[in-house]
Amino acid sequence: MSEADSDETDVRRAVVLDYLAHGLSGGRRRYQQSPAGYALGVDDFTLYQVAFDEDARLTIGTRVVVEPPAERDVVEECHPVGYDDLSSGAQSELEYVIADLIEENERRFVDFYNDAQPITLRLHQLNLLPGIGKKLRNNILDQRKRKPFESFEDLEDRVSGLHDPDEVLANRILEELRDEDLKYRTFVGHAQRNE
């Protein structure tokens, strides 16, 4: 394990969604002069506009340190942006990067199904997921009382009607990124570090 991959709690990483070697068109002067792009936070799914070091040659999917500034190696500047600020290339890569992050951190996302709680008397966190209504939610709750879910495969096997639970989560994360006026956010902006 490299030093960059170590378990430093203050270091925030992001996955490059788009790399523009000649900077952003119509962006700030600083971004026009150096390579730039967009990235997605690994822990909290924050979207970033990033200015890279002149010598950086990155590809989509590369992980970079965005915070704190003292820990950055190829990132010179970054700031959070909204979904509509992303380039079309970054928008098209987003769903694939989210799917990869969910797959890499399966335990974290399976635990969401194990640990989701009511938000109000009438609304449960599970109901925020696309396609999960009252009946499916109750089935998930009944099954997790018997035994916590071990994997996405276990979820699919034990919960009748729940297909591709990882894709359901990816769709929710995309919804949270695209809709700035969403009342409840479960994944975007909520960092959860893996230990």
Q: Rounded distance, CA 36 to CA 20, Å?
A: 5
Burial of residue 68, with CB atoms counted within 10 A of its CB: 0-12 exposed, 13-18 middle, 19 or more buried: exposed
Supply the pTM of this predicted model. 0.85
Each residue's pLDDT tens digit, 73-113: 999 999 999 999 999 999 999 999 999 999 999 999 999 99
Q: Is the pLDDT of residue 3 over 50?
A: no
Q: Helix, strand or coil for residue 51?
A: strand
The predicted pLDDT at position 132 comes to 94
